[in-house]
Amino acid sequence: MYSHVMSTPERLIEATRELLWERGYVGTSPKAIQQLAGAGQGSMYHHFTGKPDLALAAVRRTAEELRAAAAASLDGPGTAYERIAAYLLRERDVLRGCPVGRLTMDPDVVADDELRSPVDETLGWLRTRLTALVQEGQERGELRAGLTPEDTAATIVAAVQGGYALARASGSPDAFDSAVRGLLALLPPAPAV
């Protein structure tokens, strides 16, 4: 249950985010949301038109948080390689998986254009941001000129999402860590001149 210091809409959104991550859209019932949030049915429907509206608010919040966490690393100090490494090596709850990436495996989210939109936009934003960072690194001589920025960005996103899947399947974060180490080995900084 969430703190009553949080507003009722905030508790409802946070409860929905948690349940979507754990159970998926179908498994997230209004009753479970209300119980976890410590809110009544009247409160829920006062603030949201229903489960789809609340789920959309939760998905948007999750997407915003992922962008902020990624931006903290990607926009931080250091070379392009160091910032990519900071993004890949940042603290994550690997065994829970990516809260945005897991939504791509939820058939009800993927089938709903409105719910899928923030997920697609966030992964697109991440690819675009990584593409720009690889280009920046190449222009500054920090990354090899032979890399195709768009393909490299897609590979980084795929390695992270695939690393989550491998870690969850094995029950160990070692698979994620191995994927990150392997990717970083393929992205060595440009040789010093």
Tokens matching residue 189: 């900084």
pLDDT tens digits for 149-183? 999 999 999 999 999 999 999 999 999 999 999 99
92 within a domain of the structure (yes/no): yes
Same domain, 18 and 109: no
106 within a domain of the structure (yes/no): yes
Same domain, 71 and 43: no
Same domain, 114 and 175: yes
Same domain, 9 and 44: yes
Amino acid at 138: Q
Number of domains in the chain: 2
pTM of the model: 0.89
191 within a domain of the structure (yes/no): no
165 within a domain of the structure (yes/no): yes
Same domain, 114 and 134: yes
Amino acid at 135: Q
Same domain, 100 and 178: yes
What lies within 8 Å, CB to CB, of 167 at 6+ separation is 94, 95, 97, 173, 174, 175, 176
168 within a domain of the structure (yes/no): yes
DSSP 41: H
193 within a domain of the structure (yes/no): no
Q: Which residues are bridge partners to 189 per DSSP?
A: 143
Domain that holds residue 160: 60-186
pLDDT band at 9 (very low <50, low <70, confident <90, very high): very high
Same domain, 180 and 101: yes
What CATH number corresponds to the domain at position 5? 1.10.10
What CATH number corresponds to the domain at position 108? 1.10.357.10
pLDDT tens digits for 40-72? 888 888 999 989 999 999 999 999 999 999 999
53 within a domain of the structure (yes/no): no
